Structures are given as C-alpha cells and as structure tokens.
Structure 1
C-alpha cells in the first residue's frame, strides 16, 4: 500500500523542485515515510493528504490545518521510539526542513514545525501547562458553560487527572471505564499497546454522576460501546474538542490558545506540584521512557538532563 506522505503532492514537489541531490532526497525518504505512517496512526482518515485541511469537524463542516498539537504528539513519538539523540535529531531535522520547503513554495498555509528549535531534544521545551490558578478557573468555567450535563467539567477534570491524548479522548467509550478498579483502559489510542490510567476519587465521583444522567443514557441507547463525549448527537472530533476547550478557556479569561495537549501537559505539572515522583507521572502519562515525561516538566528537565 502506498505511503500517505511519500505518495502525496508534497513529496512529489519536494523531489521535483528542491535543489537537493538524489542521494539527499533518498536520505529524506525514510523519516518522511515514517511520518506518513504516524499520520495514519494519529487518526488522519482521508486517502489524499492535505495539511491545510488536516482536521475535519462534522458538526460545522469546517476544516483546520495541521497544528502544534500534532507536532507535540510527533515529538513524543520520536522520544518513545528512537534510541539515541542523534537519531531523534536526524528525523526531526529532516521533517522540519521538508515542511519549511513546502511552506516556501506555498503548498501549505501554516507550518507548525517552524515553532520548534531543531535541537529540541537536547533541552526542555517551553512549558505549555496551565498554572494551578488557571486550572481552577478552567474547571469553574466548564461547569458554568454546561451546568445541566456537566460534560465539559468532566472532560476537563479527566484531562487534568488522566491526560489522554486527543485521539484517545475522542474515542473513549464507557466500556473502557472500570469503576471497581478505579482505572480507565486505553486500548484504542495512537499507541499500539493497551495500557491504563488511574482515576482520582473526584473524577470517579463526577464520572458516575455523568454516565447516569438521563441525557447521557439517551445518547448511550442501551449499549456500552459508544463514545463518552459527544456534541449534537455525534462523537467529538479533534477539531470540535479543541473548539470546546477554547470556548471554556475564553470563559475562564485565559488569554492564550489552550488545546487538549496543553491539558495533558497540565496533568504532568499538577502531579509534580502535588509531590508525585517522575516514575508515577510517567506511568500516568503511559510513557516508555522517563525522558519523554521530562519534556512536560521543563524545570525537572534541566535538573535531570
């Protein structure tokens, strides 16, 4: 089967218009091919790759371009799968250079890779976590915006305590929640292995109220195999999820863009502030390596690296 990125117009124009030698083009092919596989695993469904219409929201029929959240997930993937800093650097440099080229020839409108320093793997990235005070305001705003069902409140609380990746959150089903063991099983995320996260007592309490609400039971329709979060009788998409988070952040007077991945970073920060160890945070974030967890803890990163 053709690789999504290698068979795209982006790579064809890269080969055709760049001044690189055939040998250099060949060296780009391996990391770009791997990126194409990652894009599919990330949840991109179209047969034709379009970075300016990377996310699609069925609710309003709108498209959004590839964004910083995707790059964050890709950085995490490199940290998890590559053995050395050199390999990580080579892969990321090739991808960043490729995106710079396709932006230069106007094939894409936005280039989120441009915001990352090529040497990101040698030092901590900018802290994207919300402060404790901002986190409290976000939870309060979520409750105010959705006081009847409290879906927004549960969604934000879940992210602050479990830190799911956006794809995992959108596809999360009631059948994955085990109230007896206080865990949520993650078996259909962007990773290929099953794992679990622990629920706090507060999350368990509000989740039980939420899943027994008449409106949620009506959405469920007698089956456990439906998504936990929904909008207008449809499961959340990545675009809709981030629009909801943006709306809540605006209500909370947080004057910066807030994404689902920022809430994942906030979970790591809050756990660290509450005295949890790096291995404990690593387990909740489901990272294979502690070095990946340290990406989310800039101050700790400086101490450990």
Structure 2
C-alpha cells in the first residue's frame, strides 16, 4: 500500500471490528481496486472521498452502509452544496460531483459482492458540470520572466530553473515530473519517457533543446550536491536528497510566478495550459497536442482551441465591419493629399 494511501487510512473510524461497518468495508473496497490494478493515486482519492462520507454518517449515528437510504444521500448532497472551506468558498461543482460519484462507486462495490441488496445511490442525480476553460494562460513574455526568477547560482535554484523549463517545454503533470528518473531523459530523441502516467499509461513526450540543456546543467552541477543516497534514481530532489512532493512543487511554482510580478492564478498546471495554447496558436494540430498532453479523449484537449485567441483576433480584425477603414475617411484623406499637392 502506498504511503499516501496509508495516510488516508491511518486512523480507523467507527467500529473497526464490525464486518458490516464502514471501516472494514472500505478496506475491502480498497483491496478490490488494488487487485484490479488501479493507480495508487486513484485509489487514494477514492478512499478519501468514501472516508469523508463515512465520517459524515458516523456523526449522525449511521454506523453501517446498510443504514443508508436515498433520502440520507440527498441530505449529504445538500451538505456538500452548503459546505464552506476555510476561505469561506463553496466546494466546486466538480468537487461535489466527485464526492457523490465515488460514494456511488463504493455502494456499487458493496452490491456486487453481496454486502448490500441494492445501491441506494444509484438514482442520485449528480450536479451538472460546467464546461469551464483554464482560468489563466501566460504570455510568452510572462513565462520568460518567471523562468528567470530562480537563483541559478545555487543548487536549489538550478534545480528549480530546470523544473520550470521542463514544465513549459513538455507540459507534463506535476506528479509525472516528481516521478521522473535520470534514465527517463532521452537526449538523443529529445524526449521524456513518462512511466505510469495518468491512467497508468506510458508515453513519450517531446522536450526542447533549451530544457534539455538546463536539465544537463542541473545534473552536472547541482544534483550531486542534493544527493544523499547514490542509489536514488529520481531526477529532481529535495534539499534532503528525497523525491519531490507534488504539493511542494506547487508552492515553488506559485512563488516564482508571484515574484515575477505575474498577477495570474495558478502554479504547475498553468505551464501545461500555456504550452498547449501557445502551440495551438502557432499552428500545432490539436491531435498532436492531445498526444503530448496524454489526454485519452480529444474533447479534453479541445478546450485549448477555445483559449487560443490569436487566430480568432486575426479573423475578427479582417472581417468585422467595425474593424475596416471607413470609406468616407479614406476619400477625405485622398482629397486632402491632392489639395496639398
């Protein structure tokens, strides 16, 4: 069991000896997902959502999944809608949807293995998902300002510059970057091998020469200073010589964006959005971008056709009546020119 999953399941809840209670049934659900070879991160996320629901039930003296009815689940759905985070913001529609969807999956598992006669969540209508676009896209100039911020005279600064260059050049996800090993960088092919990416899929991603040069500088001048165990294969390391944590990576990226004076929200993922949008604006076919990003469905990638404005602005400027020179003004200009002669 992964360390992240261990964290989610570290403390038993409810009656941990009750074979019909939430705790033992959740452990069975987790084991079922592991046997089916689900990714550890997927299992952790699913277990966390079910755990949150179970704790909500236990607060209401509902100690077993068998006690849960459709009206109770509808009450939980209203609770999610009204819930406010520490910053007083509501849960996003996506988050509400995920909570309910994973509870439904848990009950489906219970029915499949005869722990329950029917699924009380089967008729719960999930919140409709808005088709939102990336909230922020960086310009090429903004990216360069951010990339210039790490202090490359230090080992950590050199590491961070290489990390930002890889994000911008390849568009890989933060978890994928944290798992990169030194042997995953294929200099001859100008590619990065993504091992066990999202959905447990391997893929090769192109990476530019500039990013490769910064990786080389980091490996030659900084990695050995961070390395404590020479058997450690991970490419990017903390000051303690350990693999980076995705959440820490988010903090680093956000720090450099803010220090560059870029007033746009985002961290690691903003480089992924930016790379895809700028490549599309410069003529890249959407299917190539899909392959680079590792999207299973083209529909997921097509949001970048909507955030790419350059071509739309060109067409707008060339065809919108208000953008065309006024003919009367043109005639007046030519008459004034003639008179001046």
> Does TM, scored on the shorter chain, surpass 0.5?
yes
Determine whether 1:237 maps to 2:215.
no
Q: Determine the C-alpha separation between the residues in 1 that align with 2:76 and 2:141.
A: 39
The equivalent residue for 2:278 is 270
The equivalent residue for 2:297 is 289
Determine whether 1:173 maps to 2:176.
no
Tell whether the 8 Å contact from 1:126 to 1:298 is kept in structure 2 after alignment. Answer: no
Q: How far off is 1:199 after superposition? A: 1.4
The equivalent residue for 2:154 is 148
Q: How far off is 1:252 after superposition? A: 0.3
Q: How far off is 1:217 after superposition? A: 6.0
Q: Determine the C-alpha separation between the residues in 1 that align with 2:255 and 2:85.
A: 30
Q: How far off is 1:214 after superposition? A: 4.6
Q: How far off is 1:110 after superposition? A: 5.3
The equivalent residue for 1:65 is none
The equivalent residue for 1:202 is 210
CA 1:128–1:256 in structure 2 vs 1: closer, same or farther (change >3 Å)? Answer: closer
Q: Determine the C-alpha separation between the residues in 1 that align with 2:295 and 2:163.
A: 22
Determine whether 1:188 maps to 2:196.
yes
Q: How far off is 1:258 after superposition? A: 2.0
Aligned length: 224
Q: Which stretch shows the higher mean deviation, 106-115 or 242-251?
A: 106-115
Q: How far off is 1:202 after superposition? A: 1.1
Q: How far off is 1:183 after superposition? A: 1.3
The equivalent residue for 1:113 is 92
Q: Determine the C-alpha separation between the residues in 2 that align with 1:38 and 1:300.
A: 35
The equivalent residue for 1:41 is 41
Taking structure 2 as the reference length, the TM-score comes to 0.55
The equivalent residue for 2:104 is none
Q: Which structure has the bigger radius of gyration?
A: 2
Over residues 18-74 of structure 1, what are the superposed CA-to-partner deviations in whole Å (9 max), with x where a residue is unaligned?
xxxxxxxxxxxxxxxx9xx989534848976577xxxxxxxxxxxxxxxxxxxxxxx
| Root-mean-square deviation over aligned CA pairs | 3.9
* Structure 1: 5+ residue stretches without partners: 10-33, 52-96
Determine whether 1:228 maps to 2:207.
no
Determine whether 1:101 maps to 2:79.
yes
Q: Which stretch shows the higher mean deviation, 194-203 or 180-189?
A: 180-189
Determine whether 1:280 maps to 2:293.
no
2:256 to 236, 244, 248: 248
Q: Determine the C-alpha separation between the residues in 1 that align with 2:40 and 2:292.
A: 25
Taking structure 1 as the reference length, the TM-score comes to 0.60
The equivalent residue for 1:14 is none
Tell whether the 8 Å contact from 2:186 to 2:192 is kept in structure 1 after alignment. Answer: yes
CA 1:126–1:162 in structure 2 vs 1: closer, same or farther (change >3 Å)? Answer: closer
Q: Which has the higher contact order (CA 8 A, sep 6+)?
A: 1
CA 1:216–1:300 in structure 2 vs 1: closer, same or farther (change >3 Å)? Answer: same
Over residues 246-303 of structure 1, what are the superposed CA-to-partner deviations in whole Å (9 max), with x where a residue is unaligned?
1101210112332211111111022123322212211211223322111234245999
CA 1:298–1:205 in structure 2 vs 1: closer, same or farther (change >3 Å)? Answer: same
Q: Determine the C-alpha separation between the residues in 2 that align with 1:280 and 1:191.
A: 19
Q: Determine the C-alpha separation between the residues in 1 that align with 2:147 and 2:189.
A: 25
